[in-house]
């Protein structure tokens, strides 16, 4: 319960930052007025509860399935200088990539495999990972090419 409270508090803080950014982009000059702060606080409370509840539903709805037997070689920790990809045998993915001066992250269950490619996400919200070369042996290393990046398996996932 304590962890859930911390996660929700972090979520509300990020949601507040999004509201501030949106207000600044729309040219609002009254960001620090008490009216705006009260409105923002009310929106954060209402939207925060709705989004947190929706996330819980999606989390329960989007539970992953174990990797198919022909895709077990995908499991492991895969790394390059700009990308890290963890695929567990239970079908969970954690992905982080440095790209164009920012960081892209995706975490969730594998929904489907289509050929070598796989999609990760919850319900209709998903990301497709294009695997142009499935895991292969190269010298003493196992490699895989995902989204145009050559990754090296640095450890097996349990």
Asked whether residue 110 carries a pLDDT value surpassing 80, the answer given is: yes
Pick from 113, 112, 132, 134: nearest CA to 123: 112
pTM: 0.61
Would you place residue 123 in the very low, low, confident or very high pLDDT band (cuts 50, 70, 90)? Answer: confident
pLDDT of 65? 82
Kindly state the tokens that stand for 86: 């963890």
Lowest mean pLDDT among 44-53, 93-102, 114-123: 44-53
Find the helix or strand (DSSP H, E) in which 47 lies: helix 34-61
Q: What is the percentage of the chain residues whose pLDDT exceeds 90?
A: 51
pLDDT of 48? 57
Q: What is the pLDDT of residues 39-90, one digit of tens each?
A: 555 555 555 555 555 554 444 444 568 999 999 999 999 999 999 999 999 9
């Amino acid at each position: 319960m304590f962890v859930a409270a911390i996660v929700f508090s972090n979520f509300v803080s990020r949601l507040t930052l999004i509201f501030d950014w949106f207000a600044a982009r729309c040219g609002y000059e009254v960001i620090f007025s008490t009216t705006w702060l009260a409105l923002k606080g009310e929106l954060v409370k209402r939207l925060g509860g709705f989004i947190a509840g929706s996330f819980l539903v999606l989390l329960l709805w989007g539970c992953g399935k174990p990797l198919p037997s022909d895709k077990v070689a995908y499991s492991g920790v895969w790394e390059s200088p700009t990308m890290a990809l963890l695929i567990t045998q239970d079908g969970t993915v954690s992905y982080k990539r440095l790209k164009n001066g920012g960081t892209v992250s995706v975490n969730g269950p594998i929904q489907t495999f289509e050929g070598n490619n796989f999609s990760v996400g919850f319900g209709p919200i998903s990301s497709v990972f294009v695997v142009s070369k499935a895991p292969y042996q190269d010298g003493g290393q196992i490699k895989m090419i995902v989204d145009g990046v050559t990754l090296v398996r640095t450890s097996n996932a349990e």
